[in-house]
Amino acid sequence: MCYTEDMVKDEKVGKVKKDRFKGIRQIVDVVKMTNELSPKFKVYSAVAVLVPLVVFATLSIVTAQYFIFVPLAVFGPILAFMVTLSRCAQSAGYNKVDGQPGASGAVLNQIKFASTSFDEQPVAVDPKTYDLIFRGVGRAGVFLVSEGPTSRVKKMVDKEVQRTKRVLQNVPIHVINYGNLEGQVPLKKLRSVIAKKKIVLTKDELKQVQGRLNALGTMKMPIPKGMDPNRMPKGMNRRALRGK
């Protein structure tokens, strides 16, 4: 079949329109999902829209500087709504998978600050209890994030710490136990706890540490699926969803 120049142009225009509506559909899907999982989303989004709208509209009337405050009254609520959607969607996703095996891995895989990254596969697994240990590395050192009661995973964590120390000397090893019991770190606070660790390695030292850890390997098993931030409609900007 031969394509004329007009047919090619129409096809390109159709693709552009399709991609444009695809982004809108993705946002609608996120709103629906968040509304189902977060009962307070409607209240938060209403406040996020109304507050900047009222403030900027009032300022435009009082100061008569319409060219400044009218655009802000239009775009301010939109921006506030998107930030609120991002926060609520992330929180709803955390709540949905909190307590499931591999939940921490779904959060850790999104971490990319300060050259910090985590293996997709756990480095240790108890097949009977489904206790897990995920390993990450960054300029703050090595991270071992465990899932399971602290007393029960202690032996497995100690074994992994010793295993790591055999290939690394003078590198901090941070042990974090994910969970909702006393002394554990809740799912929604994992990122902040890791981000607060002090940077001690240079970029060159980090490369050497990563090379030695790669030699240790990981467990060959998939992380359980289910975390909504990872299952957002394809193409969605994750940085935007995190409010950044």
Per-residue pLDDT of 10-67, as tens digits, reads 555 555 555 666 777 877 887 887 787 777 888 989 999 999 999 999 999 999 888 8
- pLDDT tens for 54-104 read 999 999 999 988 888 899 999 999 999 999 888 888 777 777 777 788 888
| pTM score of the predicted model | 0.64
Three-class secondary structure of residue 109 per DSSP: coil
pLDDT at residue 11 in the model: 54
Please give the biggest Cα pair distance in the chain: 71
Run of H or E residues at 5? helix 5-37
> What residues does each domain of the chain span?
5-97, 103-224
d(CA 136, CA 203): 15
